[in-house]
Structure 1
């Protein structure tokens, strides 16, 4: 199902302009990945031998794995019914594991992962690159750590993106220090078990989730800013790349752009333009 939500004018262009003018202050750049993208130029290995690896095999195209939640997976507008009884019935079916109607639009065509892949192709025109989308809606960092071997390490990636902070629950998982400890452990594991460059992403802006208030589930206080700072600290301490998307959203708020207009579901899913901002901030890491 295709997303139809777009940021109203004039906010859309203002938002994109902020991404274009954003100054990247990442502690590191994806140097190894960039070099591989430059070298992987499609030489005919069978004729030149230039493209064979140490085992005499054709060189492997660069592989990116994106680990994340619904934003990475490409989720947009909510489809939840506004009638409390219908909402309650659908929610109960989901809790029982029964088949239910979709609760939101999923449009991987418009996800930042796809936009990032296309931007890389524009920059490195002679290189094929594969992107594995390991974003799962509703997922949280503890579960991402548990599935890191299955969804990341075994693919021998050249670049890893980690974007998993929006669904964290302080009441059940701990504060920002607990989040930081988990994220740092994950980064250290991936550094030890892969040769990939790692990019940590701060998330898009989010607002209190009131989608289930009609059935008595209150919106919780937003605590994402503390985790954003934890992500920045881990990037500095582990000397990995940082795509500080949240900084652009904060600039938008300071410029008077309401976050409500930037979110396709009114809570935490960026619009198509918001995914474009993600991609443009990521590409800042590849500037000369």
Structure 2
């Protein structure tokens, strides 16, 4: 598993001084079902978290240390559980038991439970005070069930206008610009089964499916970057192409040392840069996911200021929409163990988190039913 630790640390350690990922020469396009229908159906990109009556692939952490694992919602009927890495279907009553909105793993389980202390830091992880590894998904079990609840999704700004563009614009072009999470870490698509794409490609796959392939997207995101790096970039990454929609997602790396006032000023500069190039472009601002609460490096008090400032920008500028992903993570972490959703133990969501972000974007783009 040593290579998994190296990959986990890679996206954390990259900084503005590192060599930047190469820029694409053109937009990514989708011309067949392998990047649209197939992706949507394999990874169940349907209303689950913010709408719908069935949650596809909730996630729980299978561990000897935690006796009961919280579900997002209370199941209304039978529960299906499987190992997301192997696809093995688990047996209710033998491998797991459901009690209201919690799951437990009895002594008869065949699930490979994470040992006690699995999340404690190794010697080389002492600066993170938690274990940094890509092994967490091996102990994250996928759970699907009928439900009568949904999470709230707070949005503000030009929502109706955004949806009209997404639905009606011919030859739709989207730019996704952010840090390592937007780049794709730690969706399994980049390193192991089940090879789920990151939220950018999940969102684009759904749009390609319903638009008959009439969508193109571009992702110049840089692992390790914060909003200050984005503003000072001299390579023209964000504006290389003239897109109809720009999705801007920074904040996790900012929380190490950039105060909310400066963060908001940086994002406002990006908005102005976009509008200078194309005043008719639609801009979507996403507040950051929350990192592991046990990780000491981020200044957790900054996140509320980030989301408040982004909401203010969505009201200040025309054709600008705000999606409150931070509030979504607040809800998730009240109901779930962080080890059920982390991709690397510290700052990256795993497949579950990428699906949640994709559904939030699709809700903003298309409405609660994704139509």
- Alignment TM-score, normalising by the size of structure 2: 0.54
Within the candidate set 50, 55, 59, 1:7 is matched to: 59
Q: Is the 8 A contact 1:37 1:62 kept in 2?
A: no
> How far 1:127 sits from its partner (Å)?
4.3
> How far 1:67 sits from its partner (Å)?
0.6
Is structure 2 residue 331 aligned with structure 1 residue 251?
yes
C-alpha distance 209-106 of structure 1, shift in aligned 2 (>3 A): farther
> How far 1:229 sits from its partner (Å)?
2.0
Between 1 and 2, higher relative CO (CA 8 Å, sep ≥ 6) is seen in 1
In structure 2, runs of 5+ residues without a counterpart are: 8-57, 62-68, 74-142
Q: Which structure dedicates a bigger proportion of its chain to helix?
A: 1
C-alpha distance 136-284 of structure 1, shift in aligned 2 (>3 A): same
> How far 1:193 sits from its partner (Å)?
1.5
Q: Is the 8 A contact 1:112 1:278 kept in 2?
A: yes
User: What is the root-mean-square deviation of aligned Cα atoms in Å?
Assistant: 3.5
Within the candidate set 273, 276, 282, 1:197 is matched to: 282
Is structure 2 residue 198 aligned with structure 1 residue 119?
no
Counting matched residue pairs gives 230
Q: How far apart, CA to CA, are the structure 1 residues paired with 2:207 and 2:245?
A: 12
For 1:90-148, what per-residue CA distance to the aligned partner results, in whole angstroms no more than 9, with x for missing partners? xxxxxxxxxxxxxx959985210001101212332x34211111211101111112338
Q: How far apart, CA to CA, are the structure 2 residues paired with 1:65 and 1:261?
A: 30
SS of the counterpart of 1:26?
A: strand
Q: Is the 8 A contact 1:72 1:135 kept in 2?
A: yes
> How far 1:177 sits from its partner (Å)?
0.7
Q: How far apart, CA to CA, are the structure 2 residues paired with 1:76 and 1:30?
A: 32
C-alpha distance 220-199 of structure 1, shift in aligned 2 (>3 A): closer
Is structure 2 residue 265 aligned with structure 1 residue 181?
yes
Is structure 2 residue 111 aligned with structure 1 residue 31?
no
Q: Is the 8 A contact 1:37 1:127 kept in 2?
A: no
For 1:65-93, what per-residue CA distance to the aligned partner results, in whole angstroms no more than 9, with x for missing partners? 11100000111289xxxxxxxxxxxxxxx
Within the candidate set 172, 190, 198, 1:62 is matched to: 172
2:251 maps to 165
Q: How far apart, CA to CA, are the structure 2 residues paired with 1:182 and 1:176?
A: 10
C-alpha distance 20-74 of structure 1, shift in aligned 2 (>3 A): farther
In structure 1, runs of 5+ residues without a counterpart are: 41-60, 79-103, 211-217
Within the candidate set 296, 301, 315, 1:236 is matched to: 315
Q: Is the 8 A contact 2:187 2:354 kept in 1?
A: no
Is structure 2 residue 156 aligned with structure 1 residue 71?
no
Within the candidate set 207, 213, 225, 1:139 is matched to: 225
- Alignment TM-score, normalising by the size of structure 1: 0.67
Q: How far apart, CA to CA, are the structure 1 residues paired with 2:205 and 2:315?
A: 28
C-alpha distance 246-75 of structure 1, shift in aligned 2 (>3 A): same
2:236 maps to 150
- 1:253-268 equivalences in 2 (<5 Å): 253-254=333-334, 256-268=335-347
